[in-house]
Amino acid sequence: MAKFSRIAIANRGEVAVRIIKACEEMGLETVLLHSEADINSRAFRMATKTICIGPAPTAESYLNIKANIDGALAGGAQAIHPGFGFLSENADFAEAVQKAGLTFIGPSAESIRSLGDKVHCKELAKRAGLPLVPGYQGENQTVAELIKQAEKIGYPVIVKAAAGGGGRGMKLIRDSADAAELIESAQREAQSAFGSPKVFLEKYLDRAKHIEFQVFGDSTGNVIHFFDRECSVQRRHQKIIEEATSPSLTDDLRRRMGEAACAIATLGKYKGAGTVEFLLQDGEFYLLEVNTRLQVEHPVTEEVLGVDLVKMQILTAEGNFVHDPKLIRSPRGHSIECRIYAENPYMGGVPSTGLLGRIEWPEGPGRRYEYGFSEGDTITSFYDPMIAKVIVWDESRSRAIQKMIRVLKDSIVFGVHTNIPYLIEILSHKEFVNGTMTTRFIETYFADALKEPELTESEKKMIESAMAELRGSPLASDPTTTSPWASFWRGV
């Protein structure tokens, strides 16, 4: 049984901060493996030790297996936590970590290959009798064969990267006219993002809900699930708002889907935190994929169950965690997570970069913030534009929605645009409030950019006062002055 005293973190941003906090509570030191662009980030300031592993481009730093392992060894770590994204689902990395004498905090390389490869996972699920969306996962990857298979499945068809995730390498083909172009585009994007051009096809379900189950395999290989999350609010196949538990499941459906999730994880000999994703339409569910890592939306599960999944990951990697049936609880209340992106909602969500000024996340009961940036940090164009996650908990779904809207309205991010106004519009929409939204919710109701509202007189005065305060200017006492900085106010 291993015993860690120092853990390396092969990641950045809010997930790096999340792991550092878990390690601190466990009395463990941390080594942040960071790029040149992330010097002086929040995680950089919090970690026990920091080691630069390369320049800003991810291929030369966060995706560089050798640089990460060399950094962990130089930092005196015994284990590496990969977070999510980057190398977190890379079986070669997990294997290389073990060969270097370190412990990979996650499933085995064998499990990642078995379940993380979307095509192999579907073959495994098919043999186990799990329901699958009709599709094609064959080895013939010529464009002509893929078009032939798409027509056999019937349009619309979605093409996905076999080694992908996060919406990368994913294209929706509505008819044969654009099939060749979209397939070739998906293959190029898959090669660029994941190092493999392999893709597969699925029938596109146009009224589906995205439901996922948090599974966890303990140190003995015993797999249980920690209930479900609904992630139907997606833009360009990327989740924006997640909640636990789903408002769409009956007790019977929840039981059957949970059993299916545990079955596929058990077949993959899974240890640690993972997520089994399904599509649900007309009362029938279909396996979508398995994510062999911690999920971005894991906090909503933690909030309704009172567990700490990152601590459990670390204890499992030490061979020191076994599920205790007495401590396995039922979900309590409801939790919602919103992803805060640095982007302009009034220009269709184009990324917004720059220096962060004043930031305020309003504290209060049932509120939680996961963020990797603080005042004075810079949002660059090198990485994902997500700057924070806001999580709320309350006794019912309706109260959690109202709490989230209030929290977002009271949040202040100064210096870049954010999607906060966009999130408030979504949370206030009747379909979201009723829980009837599908994965086409954004496409149907929020395809266009938001109309930028006129500032009220009180907001203009508040902006002037804040800007003057930042500049140390006497304008603070003259709130009527019109400032050219007014358009840089990003709070609500």
Point out the residues that are catalytic: 293
Complete DSSP assignment for 168-213: TT-EEE-SGGGHHHHHHHHHHHHHHHHS---EEEEE--TT-EEEEE
User: Helix crossing, 309-317 with 298-305: angle to 10°?
Assistant: 100
d(CA 178, CA 146): 13
d(CA 137, CA 149): 10
Neighbours of 5 (CB within 10 A): 11
Among candidate residues 56, 225, 67, 164, the one with its CA nearest the CA of residue 80: 67
d(CA 210, CA 408): 24
Among candidate residues 63, 127, 119, the one with its CA nearest the CA of residue 264: 127
Task: Fill in the DSSP letter of residue 296.
Answer: T
Complete DSSP assignment for 82-118: --SSTTTT-HHHHHHHHHTT-EESSS-HHHIIIIISH
d(CA 235, CA 339): 12
Residue owning tokens 């930031």: 359
Q: How many CA atoms lie within 13 A of 155 on its CB side?
A: 13
d(CA 185, CA 173): 11
d(CA 217, CA 271): 4
For residues 270 and 263, the answer to whether their CB atoms sit within 8 Å is: no
Task: Name the 3-class secondary structure at 466.
Answer: helix
Task: Fill in the DSSP letter of residue 452.
Answer: P
